[in-house]
Amino acid sequence: MKLALMCQNPGLYSHLRLIEAARARGHEIDVVNHVKCYINIASHRPSIFYQGKELSNYDAVIPRIGASVTFYGTAVLRQFEMMGVYPLNESVAISRSRDKLRSLQLLAKKGVGLPVTVFAHKTSDPDELLELVGGAPVVIKLLEGTQGIGVVLGETTRAAVSIIQAFGGVDKDILVQEFIKEANGEDIRCLVVGGKVVAAMKRAGKEGEFRSNLHRGGSAEEIKITPAERETALAAAKAMGLNVCGVDMLRSNHGPVVMEVNSSPGLEGVEKATGVDVAGAVIEFLEKHAVRGKTKTRGKG
């Protein structure tokens, strides 16, 4: 197969592993920096130009689009889809998962376990928000935050009210969620590839940190998940329409609850913690499923 890897930094661990896994299995793979692509829109023949050349004859594309360039990255991916190139994850599914509010609404509609969550823009009554989620402590999130940035714990009612008012003062949309105390600052990330959980790790925040992101100094170890957790991860991936994703969840007293579904999950933490060749599983999935034109939306979503 001839593959295109859409990414801005080919030197990242995840991208190096995908390139290595593809070449080890005899495939050709090119790195395409999507923010430097040009797309010919007003044409009867959809096309993409990169580094002075027209991109053509790809069997599949692996999108690794950074959160800050989601709009442009998914536009380029849609163009690949219109050209008949098979996407590992479709543009519509990526856009869905990147919109925190929309993703939670879709998960709720499918009956996937979630923490009690309230969405707000500006509010003159923060106490009402807190009452809806069961009172402090609560987790307050900016909709556009990533890797734990823009996520704040309001430990007391006074602190939570101050945070909500501060975000309202800068005209930001926020999510207010119940704080799952029993999780003890730990979460589970399941790597889903083609409707299967291929690897799972438990992440723990550093001392005094309620966020478990590895980017924020957290640690990771392999974990054996329960049947309910496996079912929840697969249901979340299906609700988003993602072939490959990382599903982050917490163990609560009322079962697993999903915090986020990541369409471009990092591979370093999970591969090193579990020893599983996740990159190889991704390429194997493409070998079995990549067929030109076999895209649900064909760039129309």
d(CA 89, CA 261): 13
Q: What pLDDT was estimated at residue 45?
A: 86
The residue-averaged pLDDT of 175-192 equals 92
Q: Which pTM value belongs to this model?
A: 0.88
Question: What is the pLDDT, as a whole number, of residue 296?
Answer: 67
Q: Is the pLDDT of residue 278 over 70?
A: yes
Over 90: is that where the pLDDT of 218 sits? no
* Two tokens, residue 281: 């599983």
Domains and CATH numbers, the chain: 2-89 (3.40.50.20), 96-113+182-284 (3.30.470.20), 117-179 (3.30.1490.20)
The answer, yes or no, to whether residue 96 has pLDDT greater than 80, is yes
Q: How confident is the model at residue 213 (pLDDT cuts 50, 70, 90)?
A: low
pLDDT tens for 232-261 read 999 999 999 999 999 999 999 989 999 999
- Band (165; pLDDT cuts 50, 70, 90): confident
